[in-house]
Amino acid sequence: MGYHLRRNDDGSVAKRVRGGMAAAAITLALMPVSTHAQTYPAKPIRLLIQSPAGGTADLIARLISQKLSERLGQPVVADNRAGAAGTVSAEITAQAAPDGYTLLLASVSLMAINVTLRAGKINYDPLKDFTHVTLTGTVPLALSVQPTFAAKNLKEFIALAKAKPGSINYGSAGVGSSNHIVGEMLKTEAGIDMAHVPFQGGVPAMASLLANQIQLYIGTVPTLSAMVRAGRLRAFAVSTSKRSAALPEVPTIAESGLPGFDASSWFCVVGPAGIPKQIVARLNSEIVAILNSPESRERLTAAGVNVETTSPEGLRAYVQSEIQKMGKAVKASGAKVE
């Protein structure tokens, strides 16, 4: 076996494998990762969803799972794992094997809001415990009421809330959801008092509004748009700085009397930390292509999702900036987890 000698900085002598054998050793060391990446996927992939079936996350995840299954030649199973405001799905993902077979469609609440709202109460770190794959899209939220509700616009709603403090109950998809934080931001900006009623997802919250058990639901446009267009609910403002393409007739909160108001929900695909880069690159390429296809873009845009994709590095930077932005919003609102 061939070696050559090298003198260390301290004067000692170290024995080294000659170049050819060293290269062979490096090649052997890298083979398991390379082979695994080349054969990926060799079995079904699980895409976890933090909320019950029927909401915006479910819509995006099931579109991705269907198309990704077709492109990869392996089943991609959409798995709804609601619980503890979605943190159950995040913890399952963070603790999974980093082999690319467990993914999560994560929301702004899991990846940004919880850092401040649930500080010390979550068992994952959005930056350290996940492999970031791509952003999937941003979603406006709409303030919705029963068609017969007294207030017809935001100005009238604020006046009603001020005239009867605490009389309005607003629903959200759960404590720490983007719906919840937007509701608290609205209370702060408008100077009104409303009671927050959290639900396990947007669908049960909307059902409660339809049953007149709550007076206001701040929900994502994809969850509400069909009901609004059918006349079963009335949306009087959206949370983003621009109107939603799915509900173009509905004004923004900013143009309705609260200048500068701008907030949205968003979703991204992540996996457990440590997924091999080759697999991450493959997943990013496939999912970005799926979301940017004319068919998917048209379907999601019509539902109220603004399709936006990123590189893995771009998503990590986005999450980092949103942690800071949402942290300030949570602190300003005074929202707390009991």
Q: Does 328 lie in the same domain as 247?
A: no
Tokens 């068609």 found at? 147
Q: Which of 200, 224, 256 is the last residue of a domain?
A: 256
Q: Is 316 inside a domain boundary?
A: yes
Structural domain for 9, as ranges = 3-39
Q: Does 225 lie in the same domain as 296?
A: no
Q: What is the CATH number of the domain that holds 218?
A: 3.40.190.10
Q: Is 261 inside a domain boundary?
A: no
Q: Give CA–CA dist 60/300, Å, rounded.
A: 8
Domains contained in the chain, number: 3
- For residue 90, what is the enclosing H or E element? helix 87-95
- pLDDT at position 36 is 60
Q: Does 127 lie in the same domain as 212?
A: no
Q: Give CA–CA dist 102/59, Å, rounded.
A: 19
Q: Give CA–CA dist 169/171, Å, rounded.
A: 7
Per residue in 272-318, pLDDT tens?
Answer: 999 999 999 999 999 999 999 999 999 999 888 999 999 999 999 99
Looking at per-residue pLDDT, the higher value among 127 and 1 belongs to: 127
How far is CA 328 from its chain centroid?
Answer: 18
Confidence check: pLDDT of 173 > 90:
no
Q: Which of 256, 289, 321 is the last residue of a domain?
A: 256
pLDDT band at 86 (very low <50, low <70, confident <90, very high): confident
Q: Does 98 lie in the same domain as 83?
A: yes
Percent of the chain scored above 70 by pLDDT? 88
Residues 6+ apart with CB under 8 A from 81: 48, 49, 50, 88, 89, 92
pLDDT band at 9 (very low <50, low <70, confident <90, very high): very low
Count how many Cα atoms sit within 13 Å of the Cα of residue 182 in the half-sphere of its side chain. 32
